[in-house]
Amino acid sequence: MEYGPVALWLVVFLGLGVVALPLAARLFRGFPDRGATLSIPLSLTVVGVVAYWVGHLSLDAGLVAGLLVLVGLSALSLRDLDRTDFELGRFVGPVVVFAVAFLFVVAIRAVDPAVHPSGGEKFLDFGLLKSLLRTQALPPEDFWFAGEPVQYYYGGHLLTALLMKVTFTPARYAYNLALAGFFGAVVTAAYGLAGAVAAARGRSAPVAGVLAAFFVGFASNLETPGRAVLLVLPDGLARAVATRLDVELAGLAASPGAFSYWDASRVIPGAINEFPLFAWLNGDLHAHMLSTPFLLLAAACWFAYYRTPEAALRRRRLLVFGAVPPIVGLLTVVNTWSFPTSVGVGWLAMTFADSDPRTLIPRVGDRLPTGGSRVEREALRTGVALVVAAVVLVVGIAWSVPFWLDSASGRAIAFLPDRSPLGALLLVHGAFLALFVPYLLDRGRRLLDTATTQAVLVVVLGLVAVAWLADAAALALLAPLLVVGWLVLVHRHDTGRSPSSTAASDRRPTESDGGVRTDADPLPAVGFETVLIVAGVGVLLLVEFVYIQGNAGPGRLNTVFKTYAQVWMLFAVAAGAVGAWLVDAHRPDATAAREALTGRWRLAGRVLVGLVVVLASVYGAFALTAHFTSTESVSQVDDPTIDALAFVSTTHPEEADAIEWLDARPGQPTIVSVPSCYCNDEEALTDYHWVNAPSSLTGVPTVVGWDHEVGYRGETAYFERVDDVRTIYEGTPAQRARLLDEYDVRYIYVGPNERLAYGDVDFSGLDGVSVEKRWDAVTIYRVNQNQLSA
């Protein structure tokens, strides 16, 4: 086990967080921990944004500039802080949470560390990382489409490459350490944000934080416990329930040792419904995972805005137009799917905050009408918030302009995909719904008058009827939550939450307070947790009717995949705050408006939270037991290690030395090798996923690689190169020479898969091509472009 790199990366992550503490405290001064739990993603954001822009000139210079800007911003932030903002007790919790989460993933990866291509996209992720290490300036060259810039969101891999440069860590170790670091960052961010949201409503920040960390770091959907329940029921009853819920009865092994962790991520037909524990167990260093800390960072900025009173206009503008757009820009490059969600949360936050969003728009906002009726006022507020959100979106895109010009690939919008069945929705979202439904019912009972309640019931019944006629189970299950959540947020002012309420102290927060509410303010009946619930439910409903077409999978597979990962994060934070309310855990200094649950309701709330935690833990217990005891994995190791390439010499020893030799070549010399696609006549390759190993494990670009490039380049461009590669291996000398020159090929790779695809390959009679290195199973030819051209 490589304990040195593990300790080094843990120290570097925590060190970056320490450097960013003053900046975090300036942005999140109203949080119990002064933003310490968000300091690591905040530091990575500053370094990443600066390095991305400067990196188009020089990546090394971008790293230095990013670190200098981070130090400078933190130094400037110190002017607005005092000693109370740096009390040692505020930082113990964040450090412990991060360290535990970091070491948890290190332990998971240490017994199965490989970037083996089966069961995921590790070749894509590792290849991106290696290509970034080979480039001097951004964007990196596409290692599966030589000569062209990568058309993929690579921001998270860029951050990993920067960390590698800081720590001088080889990619074979950095891959798994980056997985651990990003996991630690998102778990810690969820812990801090949920705690802050709960504390703002007089609830216990530690209880809410621990629950949110559990939902992000260990919890699963209800697929595994659901199948377990069906298996203990009588056969006839179990089959009847499974048929009614439209779920498969088989799939849960009798013992943890034979358990498959995969099933729980494929509950919704034709889609992928991952959750964090599955994703990190699977071990891809993938964009939808790397973006999660920054999505929660953006949500935290919106919560800071949500808590800032109208009088603190400068602070609110700083958050909306200063802090959020760079985060949105980074999210665009890390995972383009996430940036609309981050702005959508902001739209809801501006809509439902006490402060009027019109004040954010200089001079224009004052000219807008105030609205007569309550409906008109709320509609105007919603519309203005939408306009401001659109401005934030545009500014965020401006922060990532180079990505849109050289690395983004277009997709078409499609409508009315196959619907999600009711049973699958309950299994995937049931744990969260079990907490949100009683919470919203109680809030609705307290806040909505009789007439509004009756209107809500009519609307809900109408939605159920429409859902039945349209065969849209999601509409019946989720739309009522959206309606009730929206209405209780609209009625938030009725509870005396406004800073002008007579129930509040005469003292109001000012800029000197950091622009946040103080304990003298009345505790709200609903808070930011409801904003997150509404945001998550809105996304879930949206993807039932709209999706992005792509070649990564049929229908809406990829749309559900990428959006559900974001919804899980929003729901996890909300569940932490709601869970603290259900167990009736108070903040020690909250003495007013506790709205305490009493008697049997307090007991019922605690039992409910305990039951949800137990059910959501079943998958983790089975999956981790199987993970640490299984001997069936092709990449399982006997001695713990974080070496992502240790498996190569075991599973493919005939090519290991050749790949290592190729990896040692400097720069980005183009190679040609067989593409990984089902396009090699009728004879399928024996190891389809391994085909791209020479480029994927080295970052050396090949003429054409995995057929995922169809989704980035289009079928015509991809298969033209596939045909050209065949000609290079099988064509006449003149055809070969022309194409080797056209693609500026430096090395020709001839291994077992090339021989299987193209037969016995011989370049001995071609001028300018000679044997560079030969092994038993692999021959690498060197191409002299000068002689070839002559």
Tens-digit pLDDT profile for residues 138-180: 999 999 999 999 999 999 999 999 999 999 999 999 999 999 9
pLDDT at 113 over 60: yes
Q: With bands split at pLDDT 50, 70 and 90, how would you rate the model's confidence at 52? A: very high
In this structure, the number of other CB atoms found within 10 A of the CB of residue 233 comes to 14
Residue range 412-431, pLDDT digits in tens: 788 878 889 988 999 999 99
Rounded mean pLDDT, 228-245: 79
Q: How far apart are the first and last CA of the chain?
A: 52
pLDDT at 128 over 90: yes
- How far is Cα 280 from Cα 295, in angstroms, rounded to an integer? 17
Nearest to 130 by CA among 178, 90, 87, 82: 178
- Burial class for 548, CB neighbours closer than 10 Å (0-12, 13-18, 19+): middle
pLDDT at 466 over 50: yes
Strands 670-672, 745-750: pairing kind: parallel
- Burial class for 628, CB neighbours closer than 10 Å (0-12, 13-18, 19+): middle
pLDDT at 776 over 60: yes
- Give residues with Cβ within 8 angstroms of 346, minimum separation 6: 298, 302, 305, 320, 324, 389, 392
Per-residue model confidence (pLDDT) at position 500 = 35
Higher pLDDT, 706 or 700: 700
Higher pLDDT, 531 or 713: 531
- Is-contact 670 702, C-beta < 8 A? yes
Per-residue model confidence (pLDDT) at position 498 = 39
Q: With bands split at pLDDT 50, 70 and 90, how would you rate the model's confidence at 13? A: very high
Nearest to 265 by CA among 256, 274, 255: 274
Is 269 in a helix, a strand, or coil?
A: coil
Per-residue model confidence (pLDDT) at position 172 = 96
The CA-atom distances, in angstroms, between 508 and each of 199, 377, 505, 517, 526 are 18, 24, 7, 7, 20
Share of the chain above pLDDT 70, in %: 89
In this structure, the number of other CB atoms found within 10 A of the CB of residue 3 comes to 10
Per-residue model confidence (pLDDT) at position 682 = 39
Q: With bands split at pLDDT 50, 70 and 90, how would you rate the model's confidence at 38? A: very high
Rounded mean pLDDT, 105-110: 96
Q: Hey, which bits of 539-622 come out as E strands?
A: 546-548
Rounded mean pLDDT, 694-709: 94
pLDDT at 393 over 80: yes
Of all helices (H) and strands (E), which one includes residue 748? strand 745-750
Q: Which of 163-172, 509-518, 773-782 has the lowest mean pLDDT?
A: 509-518
Average pLDDT value over all residues in the chain: 88
Q: With bands split at pLDDT 50, 70 and 90, how would you rate the model's confidence at 564? A: very high
Per-residue model confidence (pLDDT) at position 491 = 84
Is 769 in a helix, a strand, or coil?
A: strand
pLDDT at 513 over 80: no
Nearest to 652 by CA among 660, 663, 664, 641: 660
Q: With bands split at pLDDT 50, 70 and 90, how would you rate the model's confidence at 701? A: very high
pLDDT at 311 over 60: yes
Nearest to 287 by CA among 130, 179, 426: 179
Place of tokens 């590792």: 126
- How far is Cα 6 from Cα 17, in angstroms, rounded to an integer? 17
Q: Rounded to the nearest 5°, which phi and psi values hold at 254?
A: -75, -20
Of all helices (H) and strands (E), which one includes residue 640? none
Rounded mean pLDDT, 755-765: 87
pLDDT at 602 over 70: yes
pLDDT at 518 over 70: no
Per-residue model confidence (pLDDT) at position 98 = 98
Which tokens belong to 395?
A: 């500014």
Is 586 in a helix, a strand, or coil?
A: strand
- How far is Cα 664 from Cα 669, in angstroms, rounded to an integer? 11
pLDDT at 592 over 50: no
Length of the chain equals 790
- How far is Cα 106 from Cα 100, in angstroms, rounded to an integer? 10
Nearest to 436 by CA among 473, 484, 390, 387: 484
Q: Rounded to the nearest 5°, which phi and psi values hold at 153?
A: -80, 115
Is 196 in a helix, a strand, or coil?
A: helix
Nearest to 93 by CA among 38, 53, 26: 38
Rounded mean pLDDT, 678-683: 51
- How far is Cα 572 from Cα 529, in angstroms, rounded to an integer? 10
- Give residues with Cβ within 8 angstroms of 376, minimum separation 6: none
Per-residue model confidence (pLDDT) at position 257 = 47
pLDDT at 596 over 60: no
Q: Residue 484: how many CA atoms within 13 Å on its side-chain side?
A: 24
Rounded mean pLDDT, 289-315: 94
The number of helices, as runs of H, and strands, as runs of E, in the chain is 34, 6
Nearest to 211 by CA among 621, 610, 619: 610
Which amino acid does the sequence have at 513?
Answer: D
DSSP for residue 353: S
Q: Which of 60-74, 485-499, 515-529, 601-615 has the highest mean pLDDT?
A: 60-74
Q: Which of 364-368, 517-521, 689-693 has the lowest mean pLDDT?
A: 517-521
pLDDT at 45 over 90: yes
Task: Give helix 338-352 / helix 292-307 axis angle, nearest 10°.
Answer: 10
Q: With bands split at pLDDT 50, 70 and 90, how would you rate the model's confidence at 101? A: very high
Place of tokens 């033209």: 720
- Give residues with Cβ within 8 angstroms of 718, minimum separation 6: 704, 707, 709, 710
pLDDT at 229 over 60: yes
CA angle 343/347/348 to nearest 5° reads: 120
